[in-house]
Amino acid sequence: MLCLAGFTQSFAQISVSITIGDASGIRISKHIYGHFAEHLGRCIYDGFYRNGKIRMDVVAALKKIKVPVLRWPGGCFADQYHWTDGIGPKDKRPSRVNTNWGMVVEDNSFGTDEFLQLCQLIGCSPYMAANLGSGTPEEMQHWLEYLNYKGSTTLTGQRAANGHANPYNISFWAVGNESWGCGGNMTPEFYTGQYKRYASFCVDFPGSKLKKIASGGYGDQYNWTETIMKNIPLDQLWGISVHYYVFPGGWEHKGSATTFNEAAYFTSLKKALYLGEILDRHSAVMDKYDAAGKVALVIDEWGIWTDVEPGSDPDFLYQQNSLRDALIAASSLNIFNNHAGRVKMANLAQTVNVLQALILTKGDKMLLTPTYHVFDMFKVHQDAKLVPLKIETSYFKNGTDSLPALNASASEDSGGVMHISLVNLDPGKAITVRLKDIMNKYKTVSGEILTSANFTDVNSFENPGQVVPVTFMGVRKVVGECAVVLPPRSVVVLELKQQ
């Protein structure tokens, strides 16, 4: 085996081991690496779309990380959005007030055709959230006819006049958003009745099979999943959505994105790791009704939600993004990968300038956040076969509480290349991980690492290269195995090749 050169470091160290199994039959859906774009703050206008044009710098950055799917137009905005407002000549489109996000005027210059052009440029699948809260089944039906019908009707004629003669054949289709809250304050029983009514009119046109996704609960609201699985025939359901955010200090006092102490770091990570239990328990409910695992769990909003940047509009949810957030992203992606039997899509909130963004913009300038780099490093897992790991971890403490310091996931791609993503959450101690039983199969190991001196470190317009991935030099050959030295607060992705 050829391992990389030795790595000198001076951190206190802990030794643990990971045993790697054989590739499973479970594929890590590329859609787990999905994103979300809402008409909120500067996400669409300024972020994706500026001066009447799609931003090609943003498109290029998203193409590089192979964004597989993009959710739009909300969020809460989806249940106030009427799609016909956003098609046709721009000077004829109506202005509306965005009552969810800051009472700003929405001029509808970015609508269905612009969104689908954006997806085509990125090379990703569109995932559209239809309006169940304030819309009608008729409106939903007409939108689908506009999008997916091949024949000649008034609506498909409008589509052709708007520059798209051929159907778009979109498949991912959410029936409402957060129907327990901003989507209509419904009970799960009432929602499932509405879902069946609306979904009856969401028909499959020839050449386009819809994947209908029900709006489920928030976090540990397992009763939503239970009621949806019980009340909706499974053949009318491709997936159930669940949302989960990390609010470091709670909803009321979320806490700064950039100035926080070790206790707040610990609490944020604890909340992030709780995702594992949430997925286990939703999956257990789904297993009761769907032992074959046909219905997907879709975490179509997730990420850390902090206070907005000082001086920015509180309704625009613009926040900076630190190394802590990158560690949360990497740990969450490891958790999703390890639940890939049930989790078939996830969408980080939100791609540009809102919440845990991949990209921040200022005028014509663009900045890649530490979270962006995690998605870049982890893209190797997309559509690869999940490889089970037996992880022995160390723990790090805050007062009397403790958390597992190490998390990981692994996959094997179609060329037989193995990737292992490792996260050391310990703020002060390195971890030496022994990778057991890999000597016979793999000959070379290489990797990348993302870390920085402080968990509060960010990339800024003045210093965009503070937290960026570099070549990893921490793999050492030990008798019969590899030893990987993970510095404190680091993300490492290894590539193991058989040749």
Angle between helices 222-231 and 262-289 (to 10 degrees): 20
Minimum distance of ligand AHR from residue 275's CB (angstroms): 16
Q: Is 74 in the site for ligand AHR (CB under 6 A)?
A: yes
Q: Is 178 in the site for ligand AHR (CB under 6 A)?
A: yes
CB under 6 A: which stretch of 63-71, 73-81, 165-173, 246-254 binds ligand AHR?
A: 73-81
Residue 415: count other Cβ atoms within 10 Å of its Cβ. Answer: 9
CB under 6 A: which stretch of 291-299, 347-355, 457-465, 475-483 binds ligand AHR?
A: 347-355
317 versus 386: smaller Cβ distance to ligand AHR: 317
27 versus 96: smaller Cβ distance to ligand AHR: 96
Minimum distance of ligand AHR from residue 305's CB (angstroms): 8
Catalytic residue, candidates 106, 114, 145, 301 = 301
Q: Is 41 in the site for ligand AHR (CB under 6 A)?
A: no
Whose CB is nearest to ligand AHR?
Answer: 75
Say how far apart CA 291 and CA 241 lie, in whole Å: 18
> What CA–CA distances, in Å, run from 456 to 329, 361, 404, 443, 448?
15, 20, 20, 37, 21
Q: Is 371 in the site for ligand AHR (CB under 6 A)?
A: no
Structure tokens, 135:
């819309």
Q: Is 186 in the site for ligand AHR (CB under 6 A)?
A: no
Residue listed under structure tokens 């995932």? 127
Q: Is 184 in the site for ligand AHR (CB under 6 A)?
A: no
| 251 CB-contact burial (10 Å; exposed 0-12 / middle 13-18 / buried 19+) | exposed
The conformational region for residue 444 under phi > 0 = left, psi -120 to 50 = alpha, else beta, is: beta
Annotation marks residue 301 as catalytic: yes
Q: Is 130 in the site for ligand AHR (CB under 6 A)?
A: no
Minimum distance of ligand AHR from residue 301's CB (angstroms): 5
Q: Is 300 in the site for ligand AHR (CB under 6 A)?
A: no
For residue 88, give every residue at least 6 positions away whose Cβ sits within 8 Å of its Cβ, in sequence order, or none.
158, 161, 162
Strand order in the sheet with 385-387: 385-387, 406-412, 418-424, 490-497, 444-450, 470-471
Instruction: Tell me the site size for ligand AHR, rule CB under 6 A.
Output: 10
Minimum distance of ligand AHR from residue 76's CB (angstroms): 4
Minimum distance of ligand AHR from residue 77's CB (angstroms): 6
Minimum distance of ligand AHR from residue 108's CB (angstroms): 18
Q: Is 349 in the site for ligand AHR (CB under 6 A)?
A: yes
Burial 101-132 (b: 16+ CB within 10 A, else e): beebebebebbbbbbbebbebbebbbbbbbbb
How open is the CA angle 390-396-400, to the nearest 5 degrees?
Answer: 125
20 versus 355: smaller Cβ distance to ligand AHR: 355
Say how far apart CA 173 and CA 15 lie, in whole Å: 46
In contact, 216 and 154? CB cutoff 8 Å: no
CB under 6 A: which stretch of 74-82, 114-122, 229-237, 280-288 binds ligand AHR?
A: 74-82
80 versus 148: smaller Cβ distance to ligand AHR: 80
DSSP-based three-state secondary structure for 232: coil
159 versus 212: smaller Cβ distance to ligand AHR: 212
Say how far apart CA 68 and CA 31 lie, in whole Å: 6
CB under 6 A: which stretch of 9-17, 42-50, 69-77, 290-298 binds ligand AHR?
A: 69-77
Selected from 75, 188, 239, 404, the binder of ligand AHR by CB under 6 A is: 75
Helices assigned H by DSSP within 89-216: 112-122, 137-148, 154-161, 188-200
Annotation marks residue 392 as catalytic: no
**In this structure, what DSSP letter does residue 25 have?**
S
Q: Is 325 in the site for ligand AHR (CB under 6 A)?
A: no
Give catalytic residues, as residue numbers: 178, 301
Residues near ligand AHR (CB under 6 A): 38, 74-76, 177-178, 301, 349-350, 355
